[in-house]
Amino acid sequence: MALPEIVVRWKTAWECLDAARIEALYAPGATHMSSVVVERMNRADGTLRGLPEIRAYAEAAAGRLASFKADILQVIADETGGAGRASVEYWRVLNGNEEGRTRAVEIIEWSDGRITACRVFHF
């Protein structure tokens, strides 16, 4: 399966747990929504807005996790010019716990090589 470049960069950055690299994926004014944001960042609407909030979330994840792995199952993408969107379904493996893996889907939207919006759904 050929992955859009932004999906490859997203996977690599999160698996490295490098907050600066994760932040660099996002455009200024980008949003990141997840039920984990509600739990970990005390955000009732689950939405981070802008690079400082996204960086703080990435730093918190890097400080809490020993490892993160995204075993991609399927990607559906539409890319035109420098913009696109993708649905990325994957097994989420935290701290090497393969037996405790959970399924997630991320809807990633991007423009000019940077994520403008990301919505994460955990199952």
> Other CB atoms closer than 10 Å to residue 32's CB: what's the count?
26
Read off the pLDDT band of 98 (50, 70, 90).
very high
pLDDT (tens digit, 9 = 90+) per residue, 26-55? Answer: 999 999 999 999 999 999 999 999 999 999
State the fold for domain 5-122: Nuclear Transport Factor 2; Chain: A, (3.10.450)
Q: Which pLDDT does position 1 carry in this prediction?
A: 66
pTM given for the model: 0.93
Domain-wise residue ranges, the chain = 5-122
Cα–Cα distances in angstroms (integers) from residue 30 to residues 33, 41, 94, 114, in the given order:
10, 17, 25, 9
Q: Which pLDDT does position 54 carry in this prediction?
A: 97
β pairing state of 114-122 and 26-33: parallel
